[in-house]
Structure 1
Amino acid sequence: MPYQPLNALVDACRWIGARGWAPATGGNMSLREDSDHCWISQSGKDKGNLTADDFLRVEIATNRAPCGGRPSAETGLHTLLYRLWPEAGAVLHVHTVNATVLSRVIREPVLELTGYEMQKSLRGQQSHQQRVAIPVFDNDQDIDALAGQIGRYGEQHPLHYGFLLRGHGLTCWGRNVDEARRHLEGLEFLFHCEMQRRLLERV
């Protein structure tokens, strides 16, 4: 029988799929079960049509799916986040146009956002005057190497909401599916605003 709390994640996946944020079976989503296990979407599945049966139970320490099946290629990034931040309860990785393009425009290691009222959609943000820092990492097909790069950064700097991979997309998380979903929607709105601002400043 599927893990019942996955129903909220399935709903989030369908919401993501309806917005075109995980095209061509891209993206991957996961939910923490406990300190040792998480559930992650299987590779090659349309995220807008997932059911609870399309998630695999994975060991956080080893990335292994004891019952077989092929978890997402980026499983190692999800388990890294669960290891680094015990409060992380759900992780959403999407390929939105705004996140993908903006990640290539940004040359700095961190995208800094400030002045937007919608920053308050992110946990801990109380004012548009605060600063939101989203790390930007170079993409790498070697997931272990990429996880190592992100892990080293995370050990020295706060990673509150998510990070961007250049030319790839956004990975974000929350204490539960609802918070992860709110962070995704809030960040996507902020990225869209930042893209428009930068375009208009060039006119």
Structure 2
Amino acid sequence: MNLHQAKLDIVEAGRRVYERGFVASNDGNISCRIEEDRILTTPTGMSKGFLKVEDLCITDMDGTLVSGQKRPSSEIGMHIFLYRERPDVRAVVHAHPPTATGFAVAGVPLTMCVLPEVIITLGAIPIVEYGTPGGPEISEPIRQYVKDYDAYLLENHGATTIGADVMNAYYKMETLEHFAKILFVAQQLGGYNELNAEQVEKLVAIRNRMGLRGPDPACDIPDAPTTQPTTNGGIPTIRTLSAGEQAGAETSQDDLIAEITRRVMEELK
């Protein structure tokens, strides 16, 4: 990979994550695997919105600094873990996009079958169990997901995306946060419609024709059409009502209408 272009891409991605509010202060980190044993990464303790190419540093696959004037990101270990586990990955973006991180804090994975573009380009986004940032604890919980997923919500922390190059990994972060925002708005409006198995299958076929990789299944396909919003830990979701629940709901509604009618008639006597 061209070193100069990789540096420009990291600086640009850093500017974008900062300007879009995906990070605050000195949060977040971005890296690119420029050689099999060399990682270009953002430094620790610097705002990603104001990076210059000379601020970036290069480490080996053990995280040891080999070039640059600044210390590498404290979370370089997570990046190296992802590169070791996924040889096809050439870039990693870690940020704290507010809406997606809200889902991570609430314990709600972004695995719903809702948006065609997300199913095709990214697929489900699981929640990874919490690990202390900056150390090996943050990496190990990702292991069970790393082979199948390109985006992860980090419990009580943020989000990480991986890709074929820096901008590819960055765009996945954009998609993740965009999906979270749309889903959050839909929940505030009472719930969301989920695509059925046949609809998802067609989208996966498109994904395959485009040569894109993604998890299988691409999302959590609902068992049946959903009809009534409910709540899950204070977060509105949609679920399928059983036949008994549907009958009970209809009976309850009829009884309520009958009772209201009776009382109105009594008042009119």
TM-score normalised according to structure 1 size: 0.83
Give 3-state SS (helix, strand or coil) of 1:25's partner: coil
The match for 2:208 is none
How far off its partner does 1:136 sit?
A: 2.8
In the alignment, which residue of structure 2 is the partner of 1:101?
A: 102
Distance 1:175 1:183, change over 3 A: same
What CA deviation, in whole Å up to 9, does each residue of 1:37-63 have, x standing for no partner? 111110111101111111110112x11
Structure 2 CA distance for partners of 1:121 and 1:92, relative to 1, 3 Å:
farther
Question: Which of the pair has the greater relative contact order for Cα pairs under 8 Å at 6+ separation?
Answer: 1
Larger radius of gyration: 2
Structure 1 residue 190: deviation in Å? 0.6
1:127 — aligned with what? none
In 2, the alpha carbon distance for the partners of 1:114 and 1:71 equals: 38
Q: 2-side partners of 1:36 and 1:26: how far apart?
A: 26
Q: Among 137, 162, 168, which residue is 1:145 paired with?
A: 137
- Distance in 2, Cα, partners of 1:65 & 1:139: 24
Structure 1: gaps of 5 or more residues: 124-130
User: 1:121 Cα shift?
Assistant: 6.4
User: Corresponding residue for 1:112?
Assistant: 111
Opposite residue 45 of structure 1, the aligned amino acid is M
The answer to whether the 8 A contact 2:75-2:134 is kept is no
Q: Which residue of 1 aligns with 2:155?
A: 166
Out of 127, 136, 141, the position equivalent to 1:135 is 127
Q: How far 1:91 sits from its partner (Å)?
A: 0.8
How many correspondences in the alignment? 189
**Percent identical across equivalent pairs?**
24
TM-score by length of 2: 0.64
Task: Show structure 2 runs of 5+ residues with no match.
Answer: 191-235, 238-269
Q: Which amino acid aligns with 1:112?
A: T
- Deviation string for 1:1-43 (max 9, x for gaps)? x931211221111111111211111000111111111111101
| Greater shift in the superposed pair: 29-38 or 98-107 | 98-107
